[in-house]
Amino acid sequence: MSKAVKLDKTNFDSEIASGVTLVDFWAEWCTPCKMIEPVLDEISEEMAGKVKIGKLNTDEDPELASKYKVQSIPNMVIFKDGQEVGRVIGAQPKANIEEEIKKYI
């Protein structure tokens, strides 16, 4: 079970409103998305209190994926206080994801 917050159109704006949040745009059929899930769980534990990890299923909420111009997945968008500040595209190594997050915390 993922340690990330499940996001959808009902809670997306409130969950990203304050602090640093990494939103993983993913889909059930996406193998690279499944490969990075344990990495994101580790980051969630190790950076608890500094960053929130959220997951948004692009098949269930295509309008949010479209709003943030997600054209390929996995696509991790970093928000700070509700504003997009960074992005990590593709199944990247843990160090790359952490490096991008640390720019904003």
Helix axes 94-102, 31-46, angle to 10 degrees: 50
Write down the catalytic residue from 33, 39, 53, 91: 33
Residue 71 known to be catalytic: no
Task: Please state, in angstroms and rounded to a whole number, the distance separating the CA atoms of residues 102 and 33.
Answer: 21
**What sign has the CA pseudo-torsion 68, 17, 60, 53?**
positive
Q: Catalytic annotation on 33?
A: yes
Of residues 30, 39, 56, 65, which has the active-site annotation?
A: 30
Beta bridge mates, 21: 52, 79
Rounded to the nearest 5°, which phi and psi values hold at 39?
A: -65, -45
Q: Which residues are catalytic?
A: 30, 33
